[in-house]
């Protein structure tokens, strides 16, 4: 296991759920992240799906004590460079390209690349990747599909993301090849819009307490 893999696992194993956030207003990023950290979810993925994403990552990295902020929806080496420059401590991609792999190899920041088929997992294993994002989890076959991969692809660990909620998180977390899950339910848009940070802390605490 490489040092970067160990660094990634240290982040992911610290909590059962990694919040996956779409931040529309960078001003909400710091109180949102503080609410999640207060609830026990210190590793936070801010997706690069909005113009506010980089400013949000930069603010959380600089201002939120205890947070491990990562960048999600990385689609290119250019995205990688911008996210790392903003302060991301880990990188998440829905799939992978040669450009992203090259950027990952040249960086000290660990990557959690997406994979949904045995061939994709095998190709990433050949590149030295041992921990992957299973995406989109529910749509790609769910916990039963991922369980079926555990024996032929032994030694690979996953963070399933996509369609996961409080109701089905345990189905994934009980699997031997799952290290954590990613989910957006801990930060609903309506609570963020209302500035209900206490409500988000309650949801984070509930997620942090999930046992496999």
User: Active-site positions?
Assistant: 45, 133
Other residues' Cβ atoms within 10 Å of the Cβ of residue 168:
17
CA torsion, ordered 17, 26, 4, 8, to nearest 10 deg: -10
For residues 35 and 200, is the Cβ–Cβ distance under 8 A? yes
d(CA 38, CA 82): 28
Longest CA–CA separation in the chain, Å: 47
């Amino acid at each position: 296991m490489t040092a970067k893999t160990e660094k990634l696992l240290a982040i992911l194993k610290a909590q059962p759920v990694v919040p996956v956030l779409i931040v529309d207003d960078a001003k909400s990023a710091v109180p949102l992240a503080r609410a999640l950290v207060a609830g026990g979810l210190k590793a936070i993925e801010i997706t690069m799906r909005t113009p506010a994403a980089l400013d949000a990552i930069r603010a959380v990295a600089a201002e939120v004590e205890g947070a491990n902020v990562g960048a999600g929806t990385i689609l290119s080496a250019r995205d990688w460079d911008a996210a790392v420059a903003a302060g991301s401590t880990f990188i998440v991609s829905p799939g992978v390209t040669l450009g992203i792999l090259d950027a990952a190899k040249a960086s000290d920041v660990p990557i959690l690349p997406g994979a949904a088929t045995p061939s994709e997992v095998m190709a990433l294993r050949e590149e030295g990747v041992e921990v992957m994002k299973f995406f989109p989890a529910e749509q790609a076959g769910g916990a039963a599909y991922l369980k079926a991969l555990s024996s032929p692809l032994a030694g690979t660990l996953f963070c399933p993301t996509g369609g996961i909620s409080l109701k089905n998180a345990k189905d994934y977390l009980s699997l031997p090849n799952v290290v954590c899950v990613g989910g957006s339910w801990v930060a609903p848009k309506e609570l963020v819009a209302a500035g209900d940070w206490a409500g988000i802390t309650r949801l984070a605490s509930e997620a942090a307490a999930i046992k496999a």
